[in-house]
Structure 1
Amino acid sequence: MKVLSIQSAVAYGHVGNSAAVFPLQRIGVEVMPVYTVNFSNHTGYGAWRGPLIDPVDVREVINGIEDRGAFPKIDVVLSGYQGSEGIADVILDAVGRIKAANPEAVYSCDPVMGNAKSGCFVAPAIPVLLRDRVVPAADLITPNQFELGYLTGTEPDTLETTLESVDLARATGPRTVLVTSVERPDREEGTIEMLAVDDRGAWIVQTPLLPMKANGSGDVTAALFTAHYRRTGDAADALARTASSVFDLLANTHESGERELQLVESQESYAHPVMQFEVRRVG
């Protein structure tokens, strides 16, 4: 499998491509990373250095990949945090050209906007752009519950309203939706869930909720679920593998006491997930 991953990059720590690439490689996926920013560290520190990469330059990198004859061999285009408005046009143009070269290719979009605790942390124009132009062009999206609500103009909280919101999102274009960080009021205390929905049904998995904030964990989640799902077409299996891998990554990070994801130290969790969580069919 070959993935073109258009995301941010940091030198210190693990977010964007700096979080997604290694886990994908560890499960045998060939990744072509294209950077939209090249920062010293993620912006959660409140200070960082390095450039937003001009969309013209991002397009040039992608054009160079096309020059090598790679487009017909690309199975997935994966996108995450979009540092500037112009990146969307570059991504959508790349998706169109790659799908023309390989009709079996899919576009997986992580519509990064924010979360329920922090609110939106992207430029004001980005959520609108994602909702109106980018998400409708995607085959698979991986919003958290907060982002799902923005995309659909709803306030999903219960399982039923979250499923209804997913149906609204799927009606706009993407046939497969992974909802991360599902926190419904009637769930077991001290837990968090993920929900996956495609044409075959809906599945949910519950894991312990660790008392920590982990920048980049959503990027790992989107990458692993996308790869597993593209490989098998089985949403339940992809959900089980992803939940197991990401939980162990987070547990290792929490145990370490470090702020940054223990990405390399947790590599066996991607390659050989222990599948410790039950996936249930719902809806």
Structure 2
Amino acid sequence: MKILSVQSSVAYGHVGNSAAVFPLQRLGHDVWPVLTVHFSNHTGYGAWRGPLLAPDDVREVIAGIEDRGVLGEADAVLSGYQGDPAVGGVILDTVARVKALNPDAVYCCDPVMGDVGRGMFVRPGIPEFMRDTVLPAADVLTPNHFELDFLAGRTTRTLEEVLEAVDAVRARGPRDVLVTSVLHDGVADGSLDVVAVSDAGAWAVTTPLLPISPNGCGDVTAALYLAHLTATGSAEVALARTTSSVFAILEATIAAGTREIQLVAAQEAIASPPETFVPRRLR
């Protein structure tokens, strides 16, 4: 599979394309990374250096790919954090061009906006842009629980309510939705659910709540889910493989005693996902 991934990049650590590209390549996919920023490190450190690329610069890079006559070879477009609605507009224009050239191509959007305990951490206007403009264009959507509630315009606490919110989101565009970090009755009780919903049904995996929350896990999750979903056509299988690989990455990160996710150390669990979790059917 050939994947056009339009995301941020860091020299040190793993977020954005620096988190998504290696796992996708380890699974045997060809990735075309287009950078929206090129920072020294992720912003979680509180200080960083490097440029934020202008929307026109991002557009120029993609136009150069199109000049090679290969844009229609892309099987998927992947996007994550969108720091500026203008960059989001470039991404949506790109999705439209790719799909015009290859109607079978899919767009996977990780709608990065905020999280429980932190609230919204993106610029004003981005959440509404995600909800009103980006969501209807996506084929695959990978929000966390907090982001799902915003996109669906409701507060969910039970799995039944989460599924109702997913249904509301799917009615507006994306056929496949993966919801991460689903709290049980709104409380972190030592475990989290990850929920996958497609036309074929809905499944959940319950994972232990590990004592770390490193940057970049959502970026890896979106990339792996897109890869496994596209390769197998099964949300159930993609859920099992993705959660098992990400859990192994987190375990390796804890063992290393670092705040940066250990993609290289856990690469075998990425290439050959262990059978750690078995999804249970919700409907």
Alignment check: 8 A CA contact 2:113 2:147 kept: yes
With structure 1 as the length reference, what TM-score do the two structures score?
Answer: 0.98
Alignment check: 8 A CA contact 2:6 2:36 kept: yes
Q: How does 1:92-171 map to 2 (within 5 A)?
A: 92-171=92-171
> Structure 2: how far apart are the matches of 1:84 and 1:187?
32
> Structure 1: how far apart are the matches of 2:45 and 2:8?
16
**Cα offset, 1:103, TM superposition:** 0.5
Structure 1 spans left out of the alignment, 5+ residues: none
> Structure 2: how far apart are the matches of 1:23 and 1:111?
20
Give the letter aligned to residue 92 of structure 2.
L
**Cα offset, 1:130, TM superposition:** 0.5
- The residue aligned with 1:251 is 251
- The residue aligned with 1:30 is 30
Alignment check: 8 A CA contact 2:157 2:186 kept: no
> Structure 2: how far apart are the matches of 1:198 and 1:282?
12
1:22-63 alpha-carbon deviations (Å, 9 max, x no partner) = 000000010000011111111111111111100000000000
Structure 1 position 50 matched with structure 2 position 50: yes
**Cα offset, 1:138, TM superposition:** 0.4
Matched residue SS, 1:263: coil
> Structure 1: how far apart are the matches of 2:107 and 2:157?
27
With structure 2 as the length reference, what TM-score do the two structures score?
Answer: 0.98
- The residue aligned with 2:68 is 68
User: Measured at CA, do residues 186 and 18 of structure 1 come closer, stay the same or move farther in structure 2, by a change above 3 Å?
Assistant: closer
Alignment check: 8 A CA contact 1:37 1:83 kept: no
Matched residue SS, 1:5: strand
Alignment check: 8 A CA contact 2:156 2:186 kept: no
Matched residue SS, 2:181: strand
Give the letter aligned to residue 174 of structure 2.
P
Alignment check: 8 A CA contact 2:203 2:281 kept: yes
- The residue aligned with 2:210 is 210
Q: Over aligned residue pairs, what C-alpha RMSD do you find?
A: 1.2
Alignment check: 8 A CA contact 1:8 1:83 kept: no
**Cα offset, 1:185, TM superposition:** 2.6
- The residue aligned with 1:4 is 4
Give the letter aligned to residue 182 of structure 1.
V
Give the letter aligned to residue 153 of structure 1.
G
Matched residue SS, 1:264: coil
Alignment check: 8 A CA contact 2:9 2:15 kept: yes
**Cα offset, 1:188, TM superposition:** 9.5
1:150-174 alpha-carbon deviations (Å, 9 max, x no partner) = 1111111210110010001001111
Matched residue SS, 1:161: helix
Off by >6 Å, runs of 4+ in structure 1: none
> Structure 1: how far apart are the matches of 2:67 and 2:265?
36
> Structure 2: how far apart are the matches of 1:186 and 1:52?
36
**Cα offset, 1:186, TM superposition:** 8.7
Question: How many aligned residue pairs are there?
Answer: 283
The percentage of aligned residue pairs carrying the same residue is 61
1:193-224 alpha-carbon deviations (Å, 9 max, x no partner) = 10000111000011111011110000000000
> Structure 2: how far apart are the matches of 1:120 and 1:166?
20
